[in-house]
């Protein structure tokens, strides 16, 4: 043996042994975990899925298990993937809420949704929303209208257009209603009522039976040539090739155009020639906003055409614009403890803010505007905003689909007056 052992050599050996042990432990980690979870995404919901025993036992769980086993055992076709049963359950539960802000999205739709949060759009470059017709709702309440809840089909309405995107270029604007797509009209409660009224008029007309029969048959054919608003939305916002033939109405006037589908990018912040800053609360908005404002003493924010939003950007943008403090709270209708919207590390030098908004200011943008208005008395120019202050949470499911769940609404409460209406 070498008697003159260098201390450096011993240290290197000790290090090598330690490294070997740590390497072994790391490899063991991998053996125990299996494939990395990261290929499923990093969302918290998925981390929960990957770990066992986190969900407590509930009778509904046993019930689901029993039904799933029954189907796997008895259904005429083999059930190859029982995850699709769980995904089906999610779809059923979300649909049962009957909430236009809650939605289930298949993998393709969910992917497009997540892309939209970062400003990347497919299709013709629009944000679409489902809107229930107020006249139809009123008619539903009148008993003899012959409407039942199943007849309630929402209208498909443009909530925002990607600046410079194909839809905007073709002339589509927020507030427009999509009336037809690719030659099929978009079904809505209004169209159901219209067809009914037409059928009644034909039936009670003085024409002979053969003519009435013919006219009703023609009406039936026309009624069949429709598509649901949900499917119409997919046709407009999914895909990056080909085109969609869209007919839209604004103020009673119909317009029609073939609009190409392609990938478009929406910048969260853009500075107009007059210095106004157009802001949409997609990912990265706060960072760009800070750069755009710089050392300015005043800023004019244009929050129109802003519906898509990442709720985490609200607080970040507030911190760029406003000093520390409490800016209202998020509440539920279940009596949960309100969650305050608090800013820490906010802006120190004073900033005079002006806001321009209208009916196309929704969700995250509307919450931001209200927080500034109520706390700092920031003036808001323009017609009323959309009145949508719902905070929506996205959750992925193992097959790549996902769902949106409204979790709270924003309100600004002062100790003296309670909730303020804006």
Site for another protein in 334-353 (CB under 8 A): 334
324 binds another protein (CB under 8 A): no
Strand ranges (DSSP E) for 202-316?
226-227, 243-250, 253-260, 264-265, 269-271, 277-279, 298-302
Return the number of the residue (34 or 252) whose C-beta is nearest another protein: 34
Least distance between another protein and beta carbon 336 (Å): 8
83 binds another protein (CB under 8 A): yes
Q: Which long-range contacts (CB under 8 A, 24 or more apart) does 69-77 make?
A: none
Least distance between another protein and beta carbon 390 (Å): 7
Cβ count within 10 A of residue 304: 22
Return the number of the residue (93 or 352) whose C-beta is nearest another protein: 93
How far is 368 from 184, CA to CA, in rounded Å? 38
* C-alpha torsion angle, residues 142, 147, 152, 157 (rounded to 10): -70
> What is the distance, to the nearest Å, from the Cα of residue 353 to the centroid of all Cα atoms in its chain?
28
Outline where 34-130 has alpha helix (H).
44-50, 59-74, 83-96, 107-117
Least distance between another protein and beta carbon 100 (Å): 13
Could you tell me the two tokens for 198? 């037409």
Residues 259-298 touching another protein, rule: CB under 8 A, are none
Least distance between another protein and beta carbon 196 (Å): 14
12 binds another protein (CB under 8 A): no
150 binds another protein (CB under 8 A): no
Return the number of the residue (267 or 409) whose C-beta is nearest another protein: 409
Could you tell me the two tokens for 1? 């043996």
Size of the site for another protein (CB under 8 A): 94
238 binds another protein (CB under 8 A): no
Least distance between another protein and beta carbon 97 (Å): 7
The stretch near another protein (CB under 8 A) out of 165-173, 189-197, 295-303, 404-412 is: 404-412
Residues 13-32 touching another protein, rule: CB under 8 A, are 13, 16-18, 20-28, 30-32
37 binds another protein (CB under 8 A): yes
Return the number of the residue (213 or 324) whose C-beta is nearest another protein: 213
Helix axes 285-293, 311-321, angle to 10 degrees: 20
The stretch near another protein (CB under 8 A) out of 12-20, 175-183, 287-295, 357-365 is: 12-20
227 binds another protein (CB under 8 A): yes
Least distance between another protein and beta carbon 280 (Å): 24
Return the number of the residue (180 or 331) whose C-beta is nearest another protein: 331
Cβ count within 10 A of residue 149: 7
> What is the distance, to the nearest Å, from the Cα of residue 204 to the centroid of all Cα atoms in its chain?
45
245 binds another protein (CB under 8 A): no
Residue with tokens 């236009």: 100
Task: Please enumerate in sequence order all residues whose Cβ is within 8 A of that of 2, keeping only pairs 6 or more positions apart, or say none.
Answer: none
Residues 165-224 touching another protein, rule: CB under 8 A, are 184, 203, 209-210, 212-213, 216-217, 220, 224
Return the number of the residue (203 or 271) whose C-beta is nearest another protein: 203
55 binds another protein (CB under 8 A): yes
How far is 60 from 167, CA to CA, in rounded Å? 45
Cβ count within 10 A of residue 80: 8
Could you tell me the two tokens for 194? 């219209």
How far is 101 from 167, CA to CA, in rounded Å? 23
How far is 356 from 35, CA to CA, in rounded Å? 50
Find, among 305, 287, 360, 365, the residue nearest to 163 by Cα. Answer: 305
Least distance between another protein and beta carbon 366 (Å): 16
76 binds another protein (CB under 8 A): yes
393 binds another protein (CB under 8 A): yes
Return the number of the residue (165 or 309) whose C-beta is nearest another protein: 309
């Amino acid at each position: 043996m070498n008697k003159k052992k260098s201390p450096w050599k011993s240290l290197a050996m000790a290090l090598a042994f330690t490294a070997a042990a740590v390497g072994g432990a790391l490899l063991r980690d991998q053996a125990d975990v299996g494939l990395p979870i990261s290929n499923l995404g990093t969302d918290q919901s998925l981390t929960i899925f990957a770990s066992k025993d986190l969900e407590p036992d509930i009778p509904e769980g046993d019930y689901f298990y029993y039904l799933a086993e029954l189907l796997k055992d008895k259904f005429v076709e083999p059930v190859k993937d029982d995850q699709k049963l769980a995904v089906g359950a999610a779809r059923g539960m979300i649909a049962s809420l009957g909430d236009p802000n809650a939605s289930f999205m298949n993998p393709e739709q969910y992917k497009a949704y997540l892309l939209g949060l970062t400003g990347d759009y497919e299709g013709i470059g629009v944000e679409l929303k489902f809107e229930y017709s107020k006249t139809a709702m009123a008619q539903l309440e009148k008993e003899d209208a012959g409407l039942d809840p199943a007849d309630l089909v929402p209208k498909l309405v443009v909530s925002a257009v990607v600046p410079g995107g194909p839809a905007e270029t073709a002339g589509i604007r927020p507030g427009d209603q999509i009336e037809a797509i690719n030659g099929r009209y978009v079904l809505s409660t209004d169209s159901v009522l219209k067809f009914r009224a037409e059928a009644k008029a034909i039936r009670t007309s003085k024409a002979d039976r053969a003519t009435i029969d013919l006219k009703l048959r023609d009406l039936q054919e026309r009624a069949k040539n429709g598509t649901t608003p949900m499917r119409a939305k997919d046709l407009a916002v999914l895909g990056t090739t080909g085109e969609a033939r869209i007919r839209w109405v604004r103020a009673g006037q119909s317009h029609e155009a073939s609009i190409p589908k392609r990938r478009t990018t929406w910048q969260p912040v853009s500075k107009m020639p007059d210095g106004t800053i157009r802001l949409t609360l997609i990912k990265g908005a706060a960072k760009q906003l800070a750069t755009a404002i710089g050392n300015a003493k005043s800023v004019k924010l244009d929050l129109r055409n802003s519906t898509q939003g990442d709720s985490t950007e609200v607080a970040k943008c507030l911190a760029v614009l406003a000093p520390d403090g409490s800016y209202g709270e998020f509440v539920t209708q279940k009596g949960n403890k309100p969650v305050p919207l608090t800013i820490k590390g906010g802006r120190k030098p004073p900033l005079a803010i002006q806001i321009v908004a209208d009916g196309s200011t929704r969700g995250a943008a509307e919450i931001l505007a209200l927080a500034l208005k109520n706390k700092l008395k920031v003036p808001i120019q323009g017609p009323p905003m959309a009145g949508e202050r719902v905070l929506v949470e996205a959750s992925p499911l193992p097959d790549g689909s996902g769902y949106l769940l409204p979790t709270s609404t924003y309100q600004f409460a002062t100790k003296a007056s309670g909730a303020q209406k804006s």
